[in-house]
Structure 1
Amino acid sequence: MKSSVCVFLFYLAAVMAAEEWREVKIAQGTVRGRKHPDKDLFVFYSVPYATTPVGLDKFKAPLPPPQWSEPYDAINENVACPQNELLSALANFTFNIKEDCLIANVYVPETDKKNLSVVVYVHGGGFILGFGNMMKPLHLLEKKDIILVTFNYRLGVHGFLCLGTEGAPGNAAMKDQVALLKWVHNNIASFGGNPDDVTLIGSSAGSASVDLLMISKAAEGLFHRVVPESGGNLAAFTIQSNPLENAKLFARQLNFTHLDDICALEEFYTTIPLELLISDAFFDRTDSTFLFSPCVERDTEGAFLTEAPLSIIKKQNYKKLPLLYGFSNMEGLFRIDFFDSWKNKMNVNFSEFLTPDLKFESESERKKVADEIKKFYFGEKPVGNDGTIAYVDYFSDVLFTHPMLWAAKYYAEGGNNQVYLYEYSFVDEDTPLVPHTGVRGANHCAQTMAVMDSGDETKLSQKYQDMKKTMREIWYNFIKTGKPVPEGSSLPAWPAAGPDRSPYMKLNEKLELGGILLDERTRFWDNIYEKHYREPEAPPAPPKCQEKS
């Protein structure tokens, strides 16, 4: 009998602990978060940081967040913005889609300390998929001196339609991200965080986002260190080369015919249901874009970006911040599922696989350059099963590695002496073999996965557990000091990179300093872009459209 009572009391205490609450007073009112069931921290889920405009205004900048007079119970865990069903189909995620989706999730260690460092994590997903709580690096909070913020932003057409009109000026989702950073700046002290000690981290499209935020005047001063993981602001998928043409292309796909009437095009997009806006994930495009992404806007009030990123970087017209910058060694595995269907297309017309940020004087010049690129990767042979690694390298370079190394060169030339380059190459026996080879490689954002929580990590190989420990130490160091290896660390010294893109750290079981990162491949693409770079276009000034009632 006594043992039964003890068991019941233990169970009751556990339930009460799980239901332990913490109240925080922020600008909008009192918000209540619960104790995390497994970790020594409190979680405030789905706190509105802004209000999503709807109806005819759905593509405009976010509105101020709601206020409340009674305590707001922040317990709704997986709110997501409207998006194509591809994510739930591929990854078996469950989430609650809402149009008014601009929420933050705040993870606060159970401590009475104040002025904790703050990490703001920007989720990836090609600008078309994802949500803030898709992945979480809660292990970074174990020392109880970091607060984590994850959040949602609008996606796909909903977030990145860029017509240059009053109703769809462009970059709605990037303005969401700026609104989040302002919310953090104004409210994080109430949770115990230091608004003057914010590190911005992102992976994939989130990486491209934080790289863009770093050069945008709209976000300047709202964060202090930057960690872009596998995605840069110079990538073709990051900035639309011609946003108006992209809008017309999708409208035509939806059977809209008045493509040259900008007022009719705006009315079409502002009045069709969200279900149509998310009907295509644009995931199978051969040009290494997802069609809708950030854009260069017209120079109007509230714009996020009014100049091409390359121009901003070359002019050094941005605030230089400590930068932990890199990628994995086989990022192009991101496209391996298309290999069997795309290898034949590559042999028939490799021009289809060129990115839209390249321009040519004629179709014959385009074909000549396409043949030059194909030969660089695949030699004189057709693309076949023996060229799988070359296929992976090609997509690694056009999507991720060259855009980041291109920017890194100009960051260093511009005087940023705090750019820390790396390549992550860890694999173990659980890493799948690259198809048609006996080789393993680190997939897209593998370094992100090493830092993120992975469920029951005791089931992982001991090598991977050790690698995750090392990666988390490096990321923690950078969050706290702005250096991946500060003085006194037992890790190998890691100097900042210079304009030649060296040195860089090889992140594997053994950390080793390398020379120039991907020198031959990067110089090849430097030469291509020097001759054929196409600067992204802002939409033209539209005519005065009749106001809709």
Structure 2
Amino acid sequence: MLLAVVWTVVAAAAVVAEQPEVVTTLGTIKGSTMESLNGRTIFAFEGVPYAKPPIGKHRFKQSVPGTAWTGVLNATRIPNMCMQLPNQMTLKDFPLDVAGSEDCLYMNIYTTKLPADLPDGTLHDVIVHIHGGAFQVMSGDLWGPRHLLDRDFVYVNFNYRMGVLGFLSLDDKTCPGNNGLKDQNLALKWINKHIAAFGGNPNSITITGISAGGASVHYHLLSPLSKGLFHKAIANSGAVLNPWALTKKPREKALVIANAVGCASNDSILILECLRDRPAEQLVLSAKYLEAWAGLPIDTIGPIVEQPSANAFIDQQPIDIIKSRTVNDVPIIFSYTNDEGSIFVMRVLMEEKFNQALQERWNDLLPHVLEYNDVMDPSHAAEIASEIQKYYLGGRKFMEALPDFVRSVSERYFDNGIQEAAMLHAQYQASPVYAYRFSYAGEKGFNPFNDMFKKIYKGKAPHGYDGPFYYSMGPLWVPPIQNFPEALRMSKTMIDYWESFIKGTPVAAWSTVKSGLPDWHFLDIVGPETSGNVFKTEKTLSLNFWNGLNLKENSLERMKSSQPPVHNEL
């Protein structure tokens, strides 16, 4: 009899362990368990709604908080990704033209200790990851918790609307835009209010992101709507000053979408009513009409500078916000890899028809390849293309100088804007700003791009390549890290760096970007041994070159549609 009682108690404890529950002000949430890389138990709560579904009449509107539920919310499955065009890196051989759902505003929360397991009441630091994907593709769950939660963090990722459904703007109050960023903002508000129920400290939240996620982190540093919602920020491989991160001529692009789906008009209300009647899949597919050549530009539709209003996520030029000292003044890390650009011109490099076309039509196509078509004076197009060729290629054809051509893409797309953002923040804010360049190419087999592009990638770290050392990447392109001893050591080193930043400011033994001004000062990370990772100071030669071209971007001119917006009363 006693044995039966003991067995019942043990079985009941096992059920509790496998299906943990937390109680929030919205209701009870039931989760599941998984293991960290080193075997720690992780309590996982996946598919937790943070907003009402933005469907029907709510399409193209700012998201609103969800309401309380009755009973127990079953948060044991990964939620729908937000609707998108299939991406070859994440949805290979996907049979449909469109993936995901409009009902997608959910988050995933992971913790190793619930409040009952914290006897001294000390809550854990919270890391919130904003996923990348050019503001067009991917989902939060692709950046998993198994690496980070070998440490005592609470980790959260989430989905937000992207592409046409998340960023369409008619550049007026009818449809102001930036709904994807406003989704992110609402997710941060939810986390602040409820994360303590999961063992997380709402007074120690670090937001992180890679690529468009890194640019999103930077947007939250600039937005008055996000003030007080986080305490530190890590922007990897992305900043608002990157040319792809701020969409130009938003109304003009919205009218292209409207025309493509049979909603042609110059009346904002009529356009919006018509677009809400169209199938979401049709709207997502229509983004292809914004591509110019070879899948470029990568930022077909994304964040904008809104018209001024109380609900605007950002309504001033980014550089002006930084210089006005009105940023959300928190400690920041900016970073990039030493070979950001190659994957963005993969088709140009790999497909004969594209590289032949670029060689023959350099002046016409380069503005699309290097993302300056919308910010140049067309009468200077040939002159600008010639200057770029001279600076990077020394007059050679780009196929004769592939590493230098790819360097032009890396510097234009990422390095320059990240350096400029970091140095401006270091100059104008009080909190410390740090920077690193990730120059570790990975051991054999853990970086498939090294095998694919030996001539370009040898000894290089491609775009966002530090990500696999922080996050378990699920179905993304890297193999399981546990099969690679050096990669495991690299993961420990990178998470050590993050933990030092999150738990201590200033960071011991780290020098700041400000200490190197007016030059670029950063930590060059070349491998898992910290003794080999040293701080460097370099001249910003590429940034100076591009600024010298006098393109109409950043704070120089607000690029808007040539067609004035129609201001209708709703």
Q: Distance in 2 between matches of 1:444 and 1:360?
A: 26
The correspondence for 2:150, drawn from 142, 148, 160, is 142
Q: Distance in 2 between matches of 1:223 and 1:326?
A: 19
> Does 2:505 match 1:504?
no
Deviations 1:195-216 (A, max 9, x none): 1100000011111101101110
Residue segments in structure 1 that go unaligned for 5+ positions in a row: 1-8, 488-492
> CA offset at residue 74 of structure 1?
0.8
SS at match of 2:20: strand
One-letter amino acid of the counterpart of residue 497, structure 1: V
> CA offset at residue 501 of structure 1?
4.3
TM-score, normalization: structure 1? 0.88
Q: Distance in 1 between matches of 2:94 and 2:337?
A: 24
Q: Distance in 2 between matches of 1:96 and 1:344?
A: 32
The correspondence for 2:299, drawn from 290, 295, 302, is 290
Q: Does the 8 A contact of 1:84 with 1:280 survive in 2?
A: no
Q: Does the 8 A contact of 2:553 with 2:559 survive in 1?
A: no
> CA offset at residue 526 of structure 1?
2.8
> Does 2:54 match 1:53?
yes
The correspondence for 1:375, drawn from 351, 367, 390, is 390
Deviations 1:80-126 (A, max 9, x none): 11111235765579998332211111101135224211011001111
After TM superposition, the structure 1 = structure 2 runs for residues 351-362 of structure 1, keeping only pairs within 5 Å, are 351-354=364-367, 355-356=371-372, 359-361=375-377
> Does 2:114 match 1:100?
no
Q: Does the 8 A contact of 2:341 with 2:409 survive in 1?
A: yes
Aligned to 2:476: none
> Does 2:495 match 1:494?
no
Judged with a 3 Å threshold, the aligned counterparts in structure 2 of structure 1 residues 360 and 20 are, in CA distance, closer, same or farther, namely closer
The correspondence for 1:535, drawn from 538, 543, 557, is 557
Q: Does the 8 A contact of 2:264 with 2:271 survive in 1?
A: no
Aligned to 1:268: 274
Q: Distance in 1 between matches of 2:94 and 2:500?
A: 31
After TM superposition, the structure 1 = structure 2 runs for residues 5-16 of structure 1, keeping only pairs within 5 Å, are 16=14
Q: Does the 8 A contact of 1:424 with 1:442 survive in 2?
A: yes
Residue segments in structure 2 that go unaligned for 5+ positions in a row: 1-6, 474-478
Q: Does the 8 A contact of 2:47 with 2:76 survive in 1?
A: yes
> Does 2:212 match 1:205?
yes
One-letter amino acid of the counterpart of residue 371, structure 1: S
SS at match of 1:420: strand
Aligned to 2:3: none
After TM superposition, the structure 1 = structure 2 runs for residues 82-161 of structure 1, keeping only pairs within 5 Å, are 82-86=83-87, 90-91=91-92, 97-110=100-113, 112-113=117-118, 114-143=122-151, 145-161=152-168
Q: Percent identity?
A: 27
Deviations 1:47-84 (A, max 9, x none): 11111332233011112203112111111224211111
> CA offset at residue 27 of structure 1?
2.1
Deviations 1:244-294 (A, max 9, x none): 111123334445543x34343333322211011111565965554321111
Q: Distance in 2 between matches of 1:213 and 1:107?
A: 23
Aligned to 2:433: 419
Aligned to 2:356: 344
Q: Does the 8 A contact of 2:82 with 2:103 survive in 1?
A: yes
Judged with a 3 Å threshold, the aligned counterparts in structure 2 of structure 1 residues 416 and 529 are, in CA distance, closer, same or farther, namely farther
Q: Does the 8 A contact of 1:49 with 1:65 survive in 2?
A: yes
After TM superposition, the structure 1 = structure 2 runs for residues 211-222 of structure 1, keeping only pairs within 5 Å, are 211-222=218-229
Aligned to 2:545: 524
Task: Report the count of equivalent residues.
Answer: 524
Q: Distance in 1 between matches of 2:496 and 2:240?
A: 26
Q: More displaced, 414-423 or 397-406?
A: 414-423
SS at match of 1:104: strand
Q: Does the 8 A contact of 1:231 with 1:404 survive in 2?
A: yes
Q: CA RMSD in A?
A: 2.9
Judged with a 3 Å threshold, the aligned counterparts in structure 2 of structure 1 residues 536 and 51 are, in CA distance, closer, same or farther, namely farther
One-letter amino acid of the counterpart of residue 75, structure 1: T
Aligned to 1:174: 181
Judged with a 3 Å threshold, the aligned counterparts in structure 2 of structure 1 residues 166 and 273 are, in CA distance, closer, same or farther, namely farther
Aligned to 2:4: none
Q: Does the 8 A contact of 2:79 with 2:104 survive in 1?
A: no
> CA offset at residue 227 of structure 1?
0.5
Q: Distance in 2 between matches of 1:541 and 1:249?
A: 14
SS at match of 1:515: strand
> Does 2:396 match 1:387?
no
Deviations 1:295-317 (A, max 9, x none): 11112232211111122112222
TM-score, normalization: structure 2? 0.85
Q: Distance in 1 between matches of 2:285 and 2:374?
A: 28
> CA offset at residue 13 of structure 1?
6.9
